[in-house]
Homo-oligomer: A and B are copies of this chain.
């Protein structure tokens, strides 16, 4: 990688005449050599950055590290992400073209620049877009379409009728288009409700390893543009996830819940079905969400509540055993006061003694 390519990716002016050079890798301060680039996002690591052999460092505007080429940007972490993408190896893991051991239906349409790995099965009527890289041992069932520049990792299962946009990443073991969990009860037993709908994954979405997304019924389950799903997530039938929402691992969303845009959802969260989660809301780790969430709200806990309220409740819980003891002590003290009042008070004051009898 040339330094001039890096400055271009960061929207910075090119290196001065003769200042362009080869950059080997983006890495950590401890591992970097003189030809490597690192980044500085947290003052706690300033010493490590200073001590690093790295020749180049991405820094916040106005910051500098003596002896290093400092690429000043508004957001060094974003700059890091952009530069890291330059260094990524984007060649298909099993080479270019269609593996001779891939099993491809004759009615499928595979772009000439797409790569299909060994043992992958592609069904009737499937289309695979330009430059998409499909790993080994995937299944893409009939009438599904995968857009351009997608990355479908080894071992993914995409069931029939799924629509996938451009630049989508689906990681190993993910299942897209499984049947939703719908049953009608009859005399204690359950009668299965087959779904008539599909999954639609929009451009730039990413789906983690072993995550499952159920197909919709009558309407599609929709994963919006730019959504990022971590591993082992469950998305039930007819859920819609709005643009640029992120979800950490092992979260589950029940049927027909609508998650807004730019929502940040931590790990192991659970949502009941048929609720609306407002745009720009934040849901803390392990929250159990049983009601609609307002746009911009921050909630956590089980059951989920406003974040600050929940923090106060959690702090108060630690005092609960003490509180119970104090309550007993107060009761005894009041009993004593009442007893004293009764014996001392020759007028027979009504309040306390009445209370005591109630």
Given contacts A191-B78, A244-B189, A267-B270, contact A337 B351 (CB under 8 A): yes
Residue of B nearest to A316 (CB): B320
Contact with B along A137-152 (1 / 0, CB 8 A): 1110110000000000
Query: What's the nearest-Cβ distance from chain B to residue A208, in Å?
Result: 7
A82 at the interface (CB under 8 A from B): yes
> Which residues of chain A in 125-139 are interfacial with respect to chain B, using CB atoms and an 8 Å cutoff?
135-139
Given A184-B81, A219-B28, A338:B344 Cβ within 8 A: no
Are A84 and B327 in contact (CB-based, < 8 A)?
A: no
Q: Is A200 an interface residue (CB 8 A)?
A: no
Contacts of A123 in B (CB 8 A): 93-94, 136
Cβ contact of A218, chosen from B27, B141, B355, cutoff 8 A: B27
| A88: interface (CB < 8 Å) | yes
Name A189-226 residues within 8 Å CB distance of B: 189-194, 196, 206, 208-210, 212, 214, 218-219, 226
- The 5 A-B pairs of least Cβ separation, nearest first, read A336-B351, A178-B209, A81-B184, A155-B157, A340-B351
**30 pairs, CB–CB < 8 Å, chain A vs chain B:** A27-B196, A77-B184, A78-B184, A81-B191, A85-B191, A87-B194, A93-B142, A101-B103, A101-B121, A103-B118, A135-B139, A169-B179, A175-B209, A175-B231, A208-B212, A212-B232, A231-B234, A232-B252, A234-B250, A236-B249, A250-B252, A250-B270, A317-B317, A327-B330, A330-B334, A333-B338, A333-B352, A337-B341, A340-B352, A344-B345
